[in-house]
């Protein structure tokens, strides 16, 4: 899915990094907050900064409890392990991150298979979900978990409509399934839509937010749910080696991000719209209109492969993602300025 070019010692330094919003670097102010953090043993509940972060995210998502984890992928794994048993089935979109980019973790760790549903922009409908449900039978895998990704990465950063999420979760719960939201870019959806994070998370038994993407922290994600679910999730955190000790140093970066880097996501969205508009005027590129900070360009009609495009851009110090056989992804974030957007559009134009 993600295909960075091989390292080339002769290539110029990367000056514009549109590869992913995971490429953000902590600012000096964020580093100073980390330096000043009060710390303790996180595993024993004695790190006040981690405790403050978990309490804040639980409130943000409207949940009773939360836990701090190193990454969003680990949040997904811990949630899946908590909700599922070996042989269970998870229902998600066919392009979901848990299928495409987590090393087969649901199968390898939980022994659960993921049934991927079709649908444009990373979405499926309530009718699609109903059609995928089976009557309980000793002959088929128990369908135990519904998973959605907000925003939909491979769907172009598209935002799931709240009413659809509510309908999907209602159908799943009526069928006896648990529900989980992969909130890797949930705060992008919040800023773009004006809908509160707690409203998006409300229909889901577990949800998490990532601090390493547009929020700019070097690591960290927080998984939230009921007190009972998070208590069970702690056993899986322990089994996976997730004791973080004096993790307040890292949690302080996440608290700083909540204070300073949420509202400014709107700048990333504006930069993405400008980038998409500029690329749309280049012959051979089919550009999807972004809702948030992800810009996808299909290069099939250009006569060049996405790898060729990426290599030509990399030679100019610009790094982008290759997504599949025909698409490039360009991701705006806090280290990408409006001027860099104009430089990138000019670079595409010159290559063409």
Tell me the two tokens of residue 238.
């322990």
Inside any domain, residue 232: yes
The proportion of the chain whose per-residue pLDDT surpasses 90, expressed as a percent, equals: 95
Tell me the two tokens of residue 107.
């199968």
The mean predicted confidence, pLDDT, of the chain is 96
> What's the mean pLDDT in 29-55?
97
Alpha-carbon torsion, ordered 221, 82, 103, 166, to 10 deg: -70
Lowest mean pLDDT among 6-20, 138-152, 166-180, 245-259: 6-20
Same domain membership, residue 184 and residue 159 = yes
Which strand (E) or helix (H) includes residue 84?
A: none
Same domain membership, residue 168 and residue 116 = yes
Q: Vertex 20, ends 17 and 23: CA angle to 5°?
A: 65
The band of 337, judged by pLDDT with boundaries at 50, 70 and 90, is very high
Inside any domain, residue 174: yes
Same domain membership, residue 286 and residue 248 = no
Q: Supply the pLDDT for residue 3.
A: 54
Inside any domain, residue 118: yes
Q: Any bridge partners for residue 207, and if so which? A: 181, 224
**What span, in angstroms and rounded, lies between the C-alpha atoms of 30 and 324?**
35
> Is the per-residue pLDDT at 137 higher than 80?
yes
Same domain membership, residue 227 and residue 328 = no
Same domain membership, residue 234 and residue 171 = yes
Same domain membership, residue 88 and residue 213 = yes
Alpha-carbon torsion, ordered 108, 109, 111, 115, to 10 deg: -70
**What span, in angstroms and rounded, lies between the C-alpha atoms of 70 and 51?**
15
Instruction: With beta carbons less than 8 A apart as the criterion, state whether 260 and 29 touch.
Output: yes
The band of 7, judged by pLDDT with boundaries at 50, 70 and 90, is low
Same domain membership, residue 198 and residue 78 = yes
Tell me the two tokens of residue 329.
């992804």
* Closest C-alpha among 116, 184, 192 to residue 150: 184
Q: Vertex 281, ends 280 and 284: CA angle to 5°?
A: 75
Tell me the two tokens of residue 345.
């559009």
Q: Supply the pLDDT for residue 95.
A: 96
Tell me: the pLDDT tens digits for 189-228?
999 999 999 999 999 999 999 999 999 999 999 999 999 9
Tell me the two tokens of residue 173.
């719960």
**What span, in angstroms and rounded, lies between the C-alpha atoms of 75 and 57?**
14
Tell me the two tokens of residue 262.
């949420």
**What span, in angstroms and rounded, lies between the C-alpha atoms of 249 and 247?**
5
Write down which residue in 260, 285, 314 finishes a domain. Answer: 260
Q: Is the peptide bond prior to 342 cis by the omega test (within 30 degrees of 0)?
A: no
> What's the mean pLDDT in 177-187?
98
CATH number at residue 147: 3.40.640.10
> Is the per-residue pLDDT at 6 higher than 80?
no
Q: At what angle do helices 338-351 and 265-280 cross, to 10 degrees?
A: 20
* Closest C-alpha among 140, 119, 141, 115 to residue 128: 119
Write down which residue in 190, 225, 260 finishes a domain. Answer: 260
Question: Long-range CB contacts (< 8 A, 24+ apart) of 163-169?
Answer: 164/123, 164/125, 164/126, 165/200, 165/203, 165/204, 166/202, 166/203, 167/126, 168/126, 168/129, 168/203, 169/203, 169/204
Residues 6+ apart with CB under 8 A from 33: 252, 253, 255, 256
Q: Any bridge partners for residue 180, and if so which? A: 147, 206
Q: Which domain holds residue 113?
A: 37-260
Split into its structural domains, the chain has a count of 2
* Closest C-alpha among 244, 186, 185, 218 to residue 33: 218
> Is the per-residue pLDDT at 12 higher than 90?
no
Same domain membership, residue 275 and residue 239 = no
Tell me: the pLDDT tens digits for 54-112?
999 999 999 999 999 999 999 999 999 999 999 999 999 999 999 999 999 999 999 99
The proportion of the chain whose per-residue pLDDT surpasses 70, expressed as a percent, equals: 97
Write down which residue in 215, 240, 260 finishes a domain. Answer: 260
> Is the per-residue pLDDT at 313 higher than 60?
yes
Same domain membership, residue 329 and residue 184 = no
Inside any domain, residue 5: no
Please state the length of the chain: 352
Q: Supply the pLDDT for residue 242.
A: 85
User: Residue-wise over 324-341: b if at least 16 C-beta within 10 A, else e?
Assistant: eeebbbbbbbbebeeebb
Same domain membership, residue 240 and residue 291 = no
Instruction: With beta carbons less than 8 A apart as the criterion, state whether 340 and 272 touch.
Output: no
Same domain membership, residue 85 and residue 20 = no
> What's the mean pLDDT in 315-343?
96
Q: Supply the pLDDT for residue 352.
A: 74
Instruction: With beta carbons less than 8 A apart as the criterion, state whether 18 and 330 touch.
Output: yes
Q: Any bridge partners for residue 297, and if so which? A: 287, 328
């Amino acid at each position: 899915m993600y295909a960075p070019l091989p390292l080339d010692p002769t290539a110029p330094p990367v000056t514009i990094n549109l590869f992913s919003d995971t490429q953000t670097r902590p600012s000096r102010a964020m580093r100073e907050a980390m330096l000043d953090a009060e710390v303790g043993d996180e595993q024993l509940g004695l790190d006040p900064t981690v405790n403050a972060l978990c309490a804040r995210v639980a409130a943000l998502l409207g949940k009773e409890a939360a836990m701090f984890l190193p990454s969003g992928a680990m949040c997904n794994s811990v949630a899946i392990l908590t909700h599922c048993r070996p042989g269970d089935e998870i229902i998600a979109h066919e392009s979901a991150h848990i299928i495409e980019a987590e090393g087969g973790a649901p199968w390898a760790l939980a022994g659960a298979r993921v049934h991927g549903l079709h649908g444009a922009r990373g979405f499926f409908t309530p009718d699609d979900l109903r059609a995928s449900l089976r009557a309980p039978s000793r002959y088929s895998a128990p369908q135990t978990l519904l998973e959605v990704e907000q925003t939909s990465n491979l769907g172009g950063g598209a935002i799931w409509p709240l009413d659809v999420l509510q309908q999907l979760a209602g159908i799943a719960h009526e069928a006896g399934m648990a529900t989980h939201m992969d909130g890797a870019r949930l705060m992008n959806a919040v800023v773009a839509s004006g809908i509160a994070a707690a409203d998006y998370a409300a229909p889901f038994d577990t949800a998490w937010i990532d601090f390493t993407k547009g929020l700019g922290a070097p690591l960290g994600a927080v998984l939230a749910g009921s007190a009972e679910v998070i208590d069970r999730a702690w056993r899986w955190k322990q089994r996976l080696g997730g004791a973080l000790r004096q993790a307040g140093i890292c949690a302080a970066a996440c608290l700083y991000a909540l204070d300073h880097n949420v509202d400014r996501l709107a700048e990333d969205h504006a930069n993405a719209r400008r980038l998409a508009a500029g690329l749309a005027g280049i012959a051979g590129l089919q550009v999807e209109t972004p809702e948030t900070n992800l810009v996808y360009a299909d290069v099939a009609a250009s006569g060049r492969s996405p790898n060729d495009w990426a290599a030509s851009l990399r030679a100019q110090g610009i790094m982008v993602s290759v997504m599949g056989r025909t698409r490039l992804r360009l991701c705006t974030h806090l280290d990408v300025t409006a001027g860099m957007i104009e430089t990138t559009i000019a670079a595409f134009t010159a290559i063409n």
